[in-house]
Amino acid sequence: RTRLDRVTAANCKLVDVNQLFLPNDTVTHVPNIKRLNIDPVFPNRTNLLHLHNMAISRAFFFSYILQKAADNDEPGFMYYFMSVIADVAANRFLNSSAIYYAPNMSFTPSYKSFFNKTMPLFAPRAYRADDFNDPYHLEGTSTLNTIEAIDLGAIPLDTPSRNYSSDQYRINEWYHHWLPDLTKRQDSKTTYTVQITHYNGTNETFTWHGPPAASDNPGPVKWTRPYFDCDRSNKWTYGATVPI
């Protein structure tokens, strides 16, 4: 408990980076897709199981649509914001959701004059805001219905401490779980095949690359160490990451 109370919003930027993290075994009996039918899921871990499944399903969804859709039909930036907001709104115990792009890897077809160019950084993130102190909320308790969405990639130049891909960001262990992709080869990615039947009776087989399968090592989901979400929610956070 001392380690939890030692870090606050006032000093989290000043303390040693090791004090912003707790050991992996701080949270036990974490759901693992490799052992879901072997190990029981305890009642107090069902929300972690939902987080685990949500991360996998969203990664599969975005992996599929970003490869299936033509470049002109890919989702625009606003779609990403609405998607992460929907993730948080789906479960009152899920406090944030985000999609982080590696530098110069994000593209949107909605910028017609921005053809064939990428954004330096793009990271739409939605998080549940505490609205207990809103003047129109007379009860003074949080409704859990206020969600804020921001782009963590929209930062001034020459501010590495705010660049989520930089080591100076301090709490971005979740980023380095999967990024940057050092292989840069498609044949290193897990391949999936889906059979599509169209309305006119024709069939199509589509092959695409998605997150690692359950049989792969280490699997599709990597859990972060519990960390203090400094300068964001300013709370101790535990999360799951899956590559798109």
pLDDT at site 103: 94
Kindly state whether residue 68 falls inside one of the protein's structural domains.
yes
Closest CA to 95 of 134, 142, 155, 56: 142
**Residues 6 or more apart whose Cβ sits within 8 Å of residue 139:** none
Per-residue pLDDT at 119 = 87
- Asked whether the predicted pLDDT for residue 135 surpasses 80, the reply is no
Q: Is the pLDDT reported for residue 173 higher than 90?
A: yes
Of residues 201 and 133, the one with the higher pLDDT is 201
192 three-state secondary structure: strand
| pLDDT over 70 (residue 157) | yes
CA–CA separation, 192 and 236 (whole Å): 36
Kindly report, residue by residue over 218-243, the tens digit of the pLDDT.
899 999 999 999 988 888 999 999 99
Residue 68: left (phi > 0), alpha (psi -120 to 50), or beta? alpha
Task: Summarize pLDDT for 73-105 with one digit per residue, the tens.
Answer: 888 889 999 999 999 998 888 999 999 999 999
Q: How many residues does the chain have?
A: 244
pLDDT band, very low/low/confident/very high, at 23 (cuts 50, 70, 90):
very high
143 occurs within a structural domain: yes
Q: Is the pLDDT of residue 113 over 90?
A: no
Residue 138 has pLDDT above 90, yes or no: no
Q: What is the pLDDT of residue 241?
A: 96
Report if residue 187 sits inside a domain.
Answer: no
Mean predicted lDDT score pLDDT of the chain = 89
More confident site: 69 or 97: 97
- The pLDDT score that the predictor gives to residue 143 is 74
Q: Is residue 232 part of a domain?
A: yes
Tokens 């993130």 correspond to: 125
Laid out side by side, the sheet with 96-98 consists of 96-98, 124-128, 147-151
Expressed as residue numbers, the domain containing 147 is: 2-182+222-241
So what's the pLDDT on residue 237?
93
More confident residue, 225 or 117: 225
Whether residue 131 has pLDDT greater than 80: no
Q: How many CB atoms lie within 10 A of CB 93?
A: 11
The tokens of 176 are what? 């380095």
The answer as to whether 28 is a domain residue is yes
Q: In the predicted model, what is the mean pLDDT of residues 160-177?
A: 93
Residue 237 lies in a domain: yes
Let me know if residue 211 belongs to a domain.
no
Q: How many CA atoms lie within 13 A of 230 on its CB side?
A: 26
Element (H, E) at 196: strand 190-197
Q: How confident is the model at residue 141 (pLDDT cuts 50, 70, 90)?
A: confident
Percent of the chain with pLDDT over 90: 60
Count: domains in the chain: 1
The CB density around residue 113, as the number of other CB atoms within 10 Å, is 5
Domain annotation covers residue 207: no
User: How would you label 149-173 residue by residue, b for 16+ Cβ within 10 Å and e otherwise?
Assistant: bebbbebeeeeeeebbbeeebbbbb
CATH number reported for the structural domain that contains residue 19 in this entry: 3.30.450
pLDDT tens-place string over residues 174-224: 999 999 888 877 778 899 999 999 899 899 999 999 999 999 988 999 999
